[in-house]
Amino acid sequence: MTIQWRNDLQIDCGNIDNDHKALIKIINQFENEKTLIGTHALLIELSEYSKRHFYDEEKILLDMGYPEYHEHLVEHNWLTYSLTIIVSSFNSPSKNFDVSLIHSRAAKLLRHWLVDHIIAWDIPFRNFLIDRNKTFRANPLYLVSDFKAHRPCFSR
Ligand SMILES: [Fe+2]
Ligand SMILES: [Fe+2]
């Protein structure tokens, strides 16, 4: 079952969304990949891409003064760790390694791995950006130059 991108998952209509779409694409490719070599390569790609994405996202959170920054960072570390566990099962397969069984378990996990995080953790950050944007616009004492560029896709 492939993951479909939905507009309600949008965060910034920019780099964050582009990364999330790219990560979903890799996860969907993983779902349809049946060979051991292809599966392994996609897991490594997912691991590298997600580490870079988490790093960039954390930088934005910090830059925007997001109050849940540390908790969000812990969640990213947890996602990275759980992906490492999946990758390691493909790194050194045992004698009885059953690629289709491990693949279906990993695919099941990955179906929720990113989307649940976006819903539970990234969307609250989007809501923070929306509120921040609203406060900025309502306060005439703010200078335009003081307002950092990262904005949500839509305002409330
Ligand atoms: Fe995140
Ligand atoms: Fe994210």
124-145, pLDDT tens digit by residue? 999 998 888 877 777 766 655 5
Give me ligand 1 centre to Cα 59, in Å: 11
114-128, pLDDT tens digit by residue? 999 999 999 999 999
21/16 Cα distance (integer angstroms)? 9
66/38 Cα distance (integer angstroms)? 38
Q: Which ligand is nearest to the CA of 73?
A: 1
Q: What is the pTM of this model?
A: 0.88
Helix, strand, or coil (residue 43):
helix
Superfamily of domain 7-150: Hemerythrin-like (1.20.120.50)
What value, to the nearest 5°, has the Cα angle with vertex 37 and ends 34 and 42? Answer: 80
